[in-house]
């Protein structure tokens, strides 16, 4: 137990102790990445843009990076590993922000063994536009298949985005502000045409076209 506690403590020191460090402050390179959250968020009428910089890569492989933010008793995390450049990265939040609400945010970087968090910053939101759904593909599939839903202003919050295939809650694989990917659950008992319903935040949206479970 002592070894486990020591490792946990070391990780916490990395998470909270490196937030404002700069690479030039130390005579030797650090073995882990250092990330800095930009404190100047760009707040627009229907979106907020947040930014961060990777100050040092360290000598561990970076497997993920992005932002975490919270406010209004809700928590969000968004990975940029699919689309972003890690040196100077940014995110435009276009969904599920409440009006006149304060949020805190910070950048994060993950290696295979560590989670490194940047310094905390904050903004006050003007809100975002209501969520929309546009299309889904494919139009038919079997249990275990992947379905992609496209839209705008969708939520990416934990337990804030769901897709139902008929009455079955699909397994969430990926979520962004304009796309959700889910997998048809193996326990889905329906066959033939079924309704697809999306819950984004507190809003429920139904497609007119039906999905055919084969």
The answer to pTM > 0.85 is no
Are 158 and 174 found together in one domain? yes
Please return the burial class of 161, using the count of CB atoms within 10 Å of its CB with bins 0-12, 13-18 and 19+: buried
The last residue of a domain, from among 102, 126, 150: 126
Residue 73, C-beta contacts closer than 8 angstroms, at least 6 positions apart:
none
Q: Per residue in 186-211, pLDDT tens?
A: 876 667 898 999 999 999 999 999 99
Are 167 and 114 found together in one domain? no
Expressed as residue numbers, the domain containing 61 is 2-126
Distances (CA, A) of 133 to 123, 158, 197, 212: 28, 19, 10, 18
- Of residues 112, 105, 132, 84, the one with CA closest to residue 41: 105
pLDDT, the chain, mean: 85
Q: Which helix (H) or strand (E) holds 100?
A: strand 99-111
- Total domains, the chain: 2
Are 19 and 65 found together in one domain? yes
Quick one: tokens of 141? 């599939």
The last residue of a domain, from among 62, 95, 126: 126
Are 99 and 171 found together in one domain? no
Q: Per residue in 47-82, pLDDT tens?
A: 999 999 999 888 888 999 999 999 989 999 999 998
């Amino acid at each position: 137990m002592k070894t486990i506690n020591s490792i946990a403590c070391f990780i916490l020191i990395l998470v909270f102790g490196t937030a404002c460090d700069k690479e030039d402050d130390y005579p030797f390179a650090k073995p882990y990445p250092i990330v800095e959250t930009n404190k100047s968020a760009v707040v627009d009428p229907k979106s907020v843009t947040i930014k961060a910089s990777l100050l040092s890569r360290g000598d561990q492989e970076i497997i993920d990076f992005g932002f975490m933010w919270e406010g209004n008793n809700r928590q969000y995390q968004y990975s940029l590993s699919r689309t972003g450049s890690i040196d100077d990265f940014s995110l435009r939040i276009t969904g599920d922000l409440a009006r006149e609400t304060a949020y805190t945010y910070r950048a994060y970087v993950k290696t295979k063994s560590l989670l490194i968090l940047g310094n905390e910053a904050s903004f006050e939101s003007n809100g975002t536009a209501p969520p929309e759904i546009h299309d889904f593909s494919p139009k038919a599939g079997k249990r275990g298949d992947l379905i992609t839903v496209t839209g705008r202003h969708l939520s990416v919050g934990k337990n804030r985005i769901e897709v139902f295939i008929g009455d079955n809650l699909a397994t969430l694989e990926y979520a962004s502000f304009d796309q959700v990917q889910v997998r048809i659950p193996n326990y889905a008992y329906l066959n033939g045409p079924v309704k697809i319903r999306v819950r984004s935040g507190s809003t429920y949206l139904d497609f007119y076209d039906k999905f055919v479970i084969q």
